[in-house]
Amino acid sequence: MVYKAIGLMSGSSLDGLDIAYVHFHETGGRWTMEIQHTACYPYSAEWTEKLRTATRLPALDYMLLHADYGHYLGDAVNKFIHSFNLDHKVDMVTSHGHTSFHLPMRGMTHQLGDGAAIAAETGLPVISDLRALDMAFGGQGAPIVPIGEKLLLAEYGFLLNLGGIANISFRAGDQYFGFDLCPANRVLNMLVKPLGLEMDKGGTLAASGKVNERLLEELDQLDYYGLPYPKSLANDFGTDLVYPLVTSYKLAVEDELSTFIEHIATQVSSGISIIARREGIALEGQQLLVTGGGALNDFLVGRITAHLQPMGVTVVVPDQQLVEYKEAVIMALIGVLRWREEFNVLSSVTGARKDSIGGALWLGTEA
């Protein structure tokens, strides 16, 4: 069976809307994929600000933004379909939305982007609200990408996504697990903003800085890192706690970047060490697949590699399309699984009471 699906992903780094059009082939429970087309539509300054400040809005204004952003996403899908001549070639659209509130300890998560509005704009079946059911079952609602990694990328023992937040998933026997490691690109991008830059491309500035050991130690001792997995982070951990801590040291930007990159690399290696001890995994010969925007930061990848080489773990950065669009691709697969009424969120990853078939289905299909 072949499914032709579009996946939408808006990450916490706010760099834009990722869209992937993928053909998924299922034969006897085995899945393969062919990524057909991808695009990233950068957010305007206005939309960046709307999404960045959404959690400060009164309830009515927040819900109006939820609807408006849904129509924005629908328009973006229509633009994408027109650009690649995909009319009548798309079976469904899956939208992750943009995470605003994420409070797993209180059983609530919310992603902006009304699925009904997307369906109304596109005239296609739309799957949204992918995390809500897992959280209702007592899970963290995150990470949800490991189901795609299990079905599509099973040759890798560890998978690291370096987005606004760094998260890791891994295979232990027949089960998959995962958790958020630490803030990543969102904080790095905030640190270079005073220089008028969107990002430290390639990690060039960070490479010229020096690690402040006192700041690094304080970062590594934050309470979250001592919690057992499953666990997940909200965006404000990075923006409201970590970023102010880094800037409180009044360092040169280069030194801030270098120190924070060392923090990310330390948390990656520490996380993998903890996983190996807890799950009884031998690390020698294991591969770590690295995707997300941070995989294009050569200095960051180099520091992660330096930490992992003594453990016998090889860092693999795939082709740029998979680096940049893996999450959008897996969102598309999650929607296909929802359409088939098959489990698409793994309780072994999230800590929920059971696996779930997550996602609200909006039938925008025209008669």
318 SS3 class: coil
Please tell me whether residues 263 and 202 are part of one structural domain: yes
Number of domains forming the structure of the chain = 2
Whether omega before 230 lies within 30 degrees of 0, making that bond cis, reads: yes
Check pLDDT > 70 for residue 23: yes
> pLDDT band at residue 366, thresholds of 50, 70 and 90?
low
Tell me the Ramachandran region of residue 267: left when phi exceeds 0, alpha when psi lies from -120 to 50, beta otherwise. alpha
What is the H or E stretch that residue 167 is in? strand 165-172
Core vs surface per residue 124-142: b (16+ CB within 10 A) or e? bbbbbbbbbbbbbbebbbb
- State the pLDDT confidence band at 84, using cuts at 50, 70 and 90: very high
- Secondary structure string (H, E, C) spanning 94-147: EEEEEEEEEEHHHCEEEEECCHHHHHHHHCCEEEECCCHHHHHCCCCCCCCCHH
Question: Is the per-residue pLDDT at 103 higher than 80?
Answer: yes
Statement to judge: residues 154 and 200 lie in one domain: yes
Indicate if 352 and 286 belong to the same structural domain: no
What's the pLDDT tens digit per position in 284-335? Answer: 999 999 999 999 999 999 999 999 999 999 999 999 999 999 999 999 999 9
Are residues 130 and 184 located together in one domain of the fold?
A: no
Least-confidence region, from 132-141, 167-176, 198-207, 259-268: 167-176
Percent of the chain topping pLDDT 70: 99
Residues β-bridged to residue 94: 7, 127
**Is 44 a residue whose pLDDT tops 90?**
yes
> Do 155 and 214 share a domain, yes or no?
yes
Query: 261, 203 in Cβ contact below 8 A?
Result: yes
Q: In the predicted model, what is the mean pLDDT of residues 27-44?
A: 96
Question: What pLDDT shows up at residue 234?
Answer: 87
Q: Give the distance, in angstroms, between the CA of residue 202 and the centroid of all CA atoms in the same chain.
A: 20
* Residues 344, 207 share a domain: no
Q: How far apart are CA 277 and CA 40, in angstroms?
A: 39
For 260, the domain range is 147-322
Residue 175 is predicted with a pLDDT of 87
Is the pLDDT confidence value at 367 over 90?
no
Indicate whether 271 and 317 sit together in one domain: yes
**Band of pLDDT at residue 208, cut at 50, 70 and 90:** very high
For residue 108, list its beta bridge partners. Answer: 103
The domain that contains 169 carries what CATH number?
Answer: 3.30.420.40
Do 6 and 137 belong together in one domain?
Answer: yes
Residues 269 and 200 in one domain: yes
Mean pLDDT of the chain: 96
Does residue 291 share a domain with residue 154? yes
DSSP 3-state of 41: strand
| 10 contacts: CB under 8 Å, gap ≥ 6 | 16, 17, 18, 51, 96, 97, 98, 113
Residues 243, 267: one domain? yes
Q: Domain check: are 318 and 332 in the same one?
A: no
